[in-house]
Amino acid sequence: DSYDIAVIVGSLRKDSINRKVANAIVNLAPESLSFRFVEVGSLPFYNPDLDGENAPEEWKSFRASLAPADGVLFVTPEYNRSVPAALKNALDVGSRPAGESSWSGKPAGIVSGSLGGIGGFGANHHLRQSLTFLDMPAMQQPEAYIGAFGGLFDDKDQMTNDGTRDFLKQFAAAFADWVKLHAK
């Protein structure tokens, strides 16, 4: 019996480096966590007029796949110093209808990754701002800003940097402790 973790990748790109980072974390994590990728790319934009019993099927199935999760791992790029719109939309879709948020109380881990040197700091912290309101305890340490990640994987998607691998392993172990502490 392991904890069920929904993994949400903020990039929709087929060759997303953030998705490779997410896969690496899944492979390095302790056995106490089992991971499922929950996709955000086909969610229609949130519009309260469409919500309720006749809400789009994509919203319903997204909410249903979050419901059983014991925790959520976000791995995201930074777009214009914030989170990609697709990820923000997913937060909004999951937060409604009012009083029925799918996120409430679920422990979260945040990893941001970037081609640049700042490691997606802006995205990481904008996401933290939303998670505070959504009542998701977001692990504070270790922080994970994966900078200059362009050369991190070889053409077989294997990680080429031992330091980053060690760091992601530590991050995953700390996240497992965090989930154990906060899971309902």
Instruction: Give the binding site for ligand FNR (CB under 6 A).
Output: 11, 13, 16-18, 77-81, 114-116, 118, 120
Give the C-alpha separation, 4 to 95, whole Å. 19
Min CB(151)–ligand FNR separation in Å: 12
Min CB(44)–ligand FNR separation in Å: 20
Q: Which is nearer to ligand FNR, 65 or 82 (by Cβ)?
A: 82
Q: Which DSSP category does 45 fall into? A: P
Q: Is 79 helix (H, G, I), strand (E, B) or coil?
A: strand
Min CB(28)–ligand FNR separation in Å: 18
Helices (runs of H) and strands (runs of E) counted in the chain: 5, 5
Q: E strand or H helix at 73, and its extent?
A: strand 71-77
Q: Which is nearer to ligand FNR, 122 or 137 (by Cβ)?
A: 122
Min CB(13)–ligand FNR separation in Å: 4
Give the C-alpha separation, 71 to 183, whole Å. 7
Tell me, what amino acid is at 43? Answer: L
Q: Which is nearer to ligand FNR, 76 or 101 (by Cβ)?
A: 76
**Structure tokens belonging to residue 85:** 């719109």
- Asked if residue 174 lies in contact with residue 142, where contact means CB atoms within 8 angstroms, the answer is yes
Q: Which is nearer to ligand FNR, 105 or 116 (by Cβ)?
A: 116
Cα–Cα distance list, 176 to 20, 83, 142, 153 (Å): 20, 24, 12, 24
Min CB(39)–ligand FNR separation in Å: 14
Q: Which is nearer to ligand FNR, 35 or 178 (by Cβ)?
A: 35
